[in-house]
Amino acid sequence: MAAPEQDEERETTVETVDEEELYGPSEELLENVSAALAEGDIPQVETLIEDLHPADVADLIEHLAPEERKLFVEITRHVIEAETISHLDETVRDEVVEQLGPQAVAEVVGELDTDDAVELLEDLEPEQQQEVLQSIPAEERILLQQGLTFPEDSAGRLMQRELVAVPSHWTVGETIDFLRAAKELPDDFYDLFVVDPTHKPLGSIPLSRAMRSPRLTRLTDIMETELRLVPFDMDQEAVAYLFKQYALVSAPVVDDAGRLIGVVTVDDVVRVIDEEAEEDLMRIVGASDTDFHAPAHLIAWQRVRWLVVTLINTMIAATVISQFQDTIQHLVALAVLMPIVAAMGGNAGVQVITVTVRALATRDITPQSNVLRIVGKELIVGFLNALVFAAILGVVASIWFGHVELGLVLAGAMIFNMVWAGFAGTLIPLLMDRLGLDPAIGAGPFLTTTTDVLGFFSFLGLATLFLT
């Protein structure tokens, strides 16, 4: 919609943002909504949320207690905006969609841009999805059904079908006249795409450039011709990389024949960047990347996987220790000191592996990087730190137990384990990446197994050799 309709003095809400009140619904709003819900005061609830941005209403819904949430959705079901639903986190959105029923959800879907609509649809149960789709007009339904056939997390899922494509023989003036007359345009767009008669992109024109050019200018004279076309099946991580690398605000998506079928806009990419960074983080520590509102038993189940890995790891470590029971019996101080070697190696290793995984994700390391140089640097880092801590701990242990040889053994094991941490922390993710595996998955738990096992083995092994 181009021009708002009201003619009277427009109500403006230009205000400077206060960082203190930026995040989430205010305490006051939450209390007022809760109170109004408790009293069943429907008009009051509607008044309270009337001026809120849909994203803020979504936050409000997420902050309500489950019972309140249900009531809130029931009360506001006829005024709730499509945008609000699309902003909800997955778990809460599922609940709300379930509660609204297919007919209402179909209306919501109809109001959204195709990218948001597909995102909402893809999370539904197959039957629910069918029910909703059947309530949508044929023309749009076909686009949505096609959207659902694109691979998950691909450019095709991310793109919206609404875009502005103009023929190459037009001038700036003709384009502006077209835009002024056209009814079916995206709410917001940032680039015009110049296409040939077969709908293949020839170039793009940032709106700012089009607006600055005289009416008679031919589009082909001002279009950006260094155009990077995104194949519909490109992974969203790659799309995000394109946007970051070339500071894009929108990018054209093409089908197998090279025809323009959609456009990815930067707001979707911002979401992807956030998601991918979170995914890396969660995978490194071995937590799941489900959303924050998932129920306890589901979260517990998703974390079990990496706890099982940890369990196996520690069993291996325990087996190693058990080989040295006689040595420990002979010198119990070993049992006191052995966790130090394992923990220092583990911690140093997790630092290294996190840096490496992140460098792979941000493409600071690429297949063309010099692996020897990268591993070499971490070996030096590991060795420098190992020397410092081995010296400190060697002295501490010598004094504590009045046993200089014990201090030396501890220092030796420390150096060995921390250098290993630097080596394995770089090499393991690099190898996994070369093998086409996600280097982030369980990197932490996996690495700490090796530092535990090697830490116990080197320390107890050296002790057996030199102290008994």
Least distance between a copy of itself and beta carbon 391 (Å): 12
Least distance between a copy of itself and beta carbon 145 (Å): 24
The C-alpha atoms of residue 133 and residue 144 are separated, in whole angstroms, by 8
Least distance between a copy of itself and beta carbon 292 (Å): 4
The C-alpha atoms of residue 336 and residue 332 are separated, in whole angstroms, by 7
95 or 131: CB nearest a copy of itself: 95
Q: Which two tokens stand for residue 348?
A: 């140093």
Q: Which two tokens stand for residue 100?
A: 């609204």
> What is the DSSP pairing of strand 191-195 with strand 165-167?
parallel
Least distance between a copy of itself and beta carbon 124 (Å): 22
Q: Contact at 8 Å (CB) between 226 and 242?
A: no
**Which run of H or of E encompasses 350?**
helix 333-361
Q: Which two tokens stand for residue 342?
A: 């394992």
71 or 287: CB nearest a copy of itself: 287
133 or 411: CB nearest a copy of itself: 411
311 or 437: CB nearest a copy of itself: 311
145 or 220: CB nearest a copy of itself: 220
Strand order in the sheet with 201-206: 165-167, 191-195, 201-206
Least distance between a copy of itself and beta carbon 239 (Å): 9
Least distance between a copy of itself and beta carbon 133 (Å): 26
The C-alpha atoms of residue 81 and residue 64 are separated, in whole angstroms, by 18
Least distance between a copy of itself and beta carbon 338 (Å): 8
Torsion of CA 290, 269, 265, 197, to 10 degrees: -100
128 or 299: CB nearest a copy of itself: 299
Q: Contact at 8 Å (CB) between 335 and 365?
A: no
* Residue-wise burial string across 441-450, b where 16 or more C-beta atoms lie within 10 A, e elsewhere: bbbbbbbbbb
Q: Please, what is the end-to-end C-alpha distance for the chain in angstroms?
A: 85
142 or 392: CB nearest a copy of itself: 392
Least distance between a copy of itself and beta carbon 226 (Å): 5
Amino acid at 387: L
138 or 372: CB nearest a copy of itself: 372
The C-alpha atoms of residue 30 and residue 184 are separated, in whole angstroms, by 38
